[in-house]
Amino acid sequence: MTSPATTPRGSAVFLLDQVLGEGRLMPEALSGGALHRLDPADRARAQRLALDTLRGLERADRLLARHLRKAPPLHVRNVLRLSTVEICQGGDAHGVVNDAVSIVAADKRRAPMKGMVNAVLRKIAAEGPGAWGKLRVPRLPKWLRAPLSDAYGAPIVAAMEAAHFAGAPLDITARDDPAAVAQMLGGTLLPTGTVRLPQGGQVSGLPGFNDGQWWVQDAAAAMPARVLAAQRGEAVLDMCAAPGGKTMQLAAAGADVTALDISPARMERVRENLARTGLTATTVVDDALTHEGRYNAILLDAPCSATGTIRRHPDLPHAQDGSNYGALMELQARMIDHALGLLGPGGRLIYCTCSLLPDEGECQVEEALARHPGLATDTAALNLPGIAPEWITPEGGLRLRPDYWADLGGMDGFYIAALIR
């Protein structure tokens, strides 16, 4: 395994080595200090380069295969992949090639391959940009594409893949006045109340961040709290709270919020976000399956496959293989059952997952309805601005997909259901 580098391109290659070689998700690599040697601007650039490479990996490999007689070691292959994507997306070929050669030369074991890297990338610089757009949109790996095709059909999966490849704009939730925040940042106010900005830039440097006027949150991820529609003074539990976006939405509505998470480190991030935004919630580090209390409403954003977030987290299908999904589904069912027991009379439970797999959404709710006589879905709660009627599912939930709002930049995949007795 290579060591973290001190340049954005070198650090981006290190991230690729972690994801593609070690099977680590990008957030895990970042929390381990992968980019700690870089200043904030270079850190953001390194992440963008790595994410762009993961999105374009299939195209890069197809172009490189034309010029490689055999696959080089993974680290060198990742240098070639990153460089190919950057060149084909308009990067300065001279600077990209020089940096690629330097990265390979810095590793004594692989330094003899710098000549090959130079030669291959010069061919890519000559032929790649013209060929890039003619290649198919990169596909999901078979282990994930197959169940999604079974659930939605091949044309819809292809539309999702196009959304994944396009990446994600920057979505933010305003603490007080979305229209004013949109005007301040030059953003677009989406029909659901989220403010959307073009992709890129250093988030912490944008106006309003330091004084807590807004926080980053995908438009789809902001919907569960809107469906819950917390009232002032209500006792509301955010059952798996970190990193705190939904907690802050509920607190901004005036609810008496308890934010629950099993991880002390993740809960510290919730506290930091609350402090920055000037919002108040009771933070509790506890196991959701053993937590006790009585609440008017509960928001359960259950641990899941996160397959709905691939357009912003393209590392996920490369670092996972679906082998743990069965255990996640069992956990989701147990969490639903326990959450229902924490509700007071007339209480409501919002169950949601950032997953595209029906087994983690529609099927979970169908099975919960069967297990709990008198439980029902509240479809009226889904009647919100920006929600299309065709997004409502037969069992009474809300299915959001990456290919929705294609002309606006898409959204994460999410499933949301409001459950009432």
Tell me the whole-structure pTM to 2 decimals. 0.93
Q: Would you list which residues are annotated within the binding site?
A: 240-246, 261, 301
- pLDDT tens, position by position, 257-287: 999 999 999 999 999 999 999 999 999 999 9
Along the 421 residues of the chain, how does pLDDT read in single tens digits? 344 568 999 999 999 999 999 999 999 999 888 888 899 889 989 999 999 999 999 999 999 999 999 999 999 999 999 999 999 999 999 999 999 999 999 999 999 999 999 999 999 999 999 999 999 999 999 999 999 999 999 999 999 999 999 999 999 999 999 999 999 999 999 999 999 998 666 788 899 999 999 999 999 999 999 999 999 999 999 999 999 999 999 999 999 999 999 999 999 999 999 999 999 999 999 999 999 999 999 999 999 999 999 999 999 999 989 899 999 999 999 999 999 999 999 999 999 999 999 999 999 999 999 999 999 999 999 999 999 999 999 999 999 999 999 999 999 999 999 999 8
User: Number of folded domains in the chain?
Assistant: 2
Instruction: Count the residues in the chain.
Output: 421
Q: Give the separation between CA 376 and CA 391, rounded to whole angstroms.
A: 18
Residues 116, 224, single domain; the answer is no
Domain stop point among 97, 114, 132: 132
- State the CB neighbour count (10 A cutoff) for residue 26: 22
Residues 223, 360, single domain; the answer is yes
Residues 239, 127, single domain; the answer is no
Phi/psi-derived region of residue 291, left when phi > 0, alpha when psi is between -120 and 50, beta in every other case: beta
> Is residue 94 assigned to a domain?
yes
CATH number at residue 104: 1.10.940.10
Residues 280, 374, single domain; the answer is yes
> Is residue 318 assigned to a domain?
yes
Residues 271, 372, single domain; the answer is yes
Task: Determine contact, residues 88/132, Cβ cutoff 8 Å.
Answer: yes
Residues 125, 272, single domain; the answer is no
Give the list of residues 6+ apart from residue 415 with CB closer than 8 angstroms, or none.
Answer: 308, 352, 353, 355, 358, 360, 361, 362, 397, 398, 399, 400
> Is residue 204 assigned to a domain?
no
Residues 248, 378, single domain; the answer is yes
Residues 277, 389, single domain; the answer is yes
Cis peptide before 389 (omega within 30 of 0): no
Residues 264, 396, single domain; the answer is yes
H-helix or E-strand spanning residue 226: helix 223-228
- The catalytic residue among 88, 304, 352, 354 is 354
Query: Which residue range(s) make up the domain with 86?
Result: 8-132
Residues 111, 245, single domain; the answer is no
Pairing assessment for the beta strands 376-377 and 414-420 based on DSSP bridges: antiparallel
Is residue 363 flagged as an active site residue? no
Residues 115, 244, single domain; the answer is no
Q: Give the separation between CA 146 and CA 77, rounded to whole angstroms.
A: 27
Q: How many helices (H) and strands (E) does the chain have?
A: 17, 12
The one-letter amino acid code at 330 reads E
Q: Would you list which residues are annotated within the binding site for S-adenosyl-L-methionine?
A: 240-246, 261, 301
Residues 230, 112, single domain; the answer is no
> Is residue 202 assigned to a domain?
no
Domain stop point among 132, 161, 179: 132
Task: Determine contact, residues 385/193, Cβ cutoff 8 Å.
Answer: yes
- pLDDT tens, position by position, 197-225: 986 667 888 999 999 999 999 999 999 99
Q: Provide the 8-state DSSP code for 314.
A: T
> Is residue 175 assigned to a domain?
no
> Is residue 304 assigned to a domain?
yes
Task: Determine contact, residues 230/251, Cβ cutoff 8 Å.
Answer: no
> Is residue 290 assigned to a domain?
yes
Q: How far is CA 159 from CA 62, 290, 403, in A?
A: 21, 41, 6
CATH number at residue 285: 3.40.50.150
- Going by C-alpha positions, the residue among 253, 193, 254 that lies closest to residue 220 is 193
Domain stop point among 132, 148, 169: 132
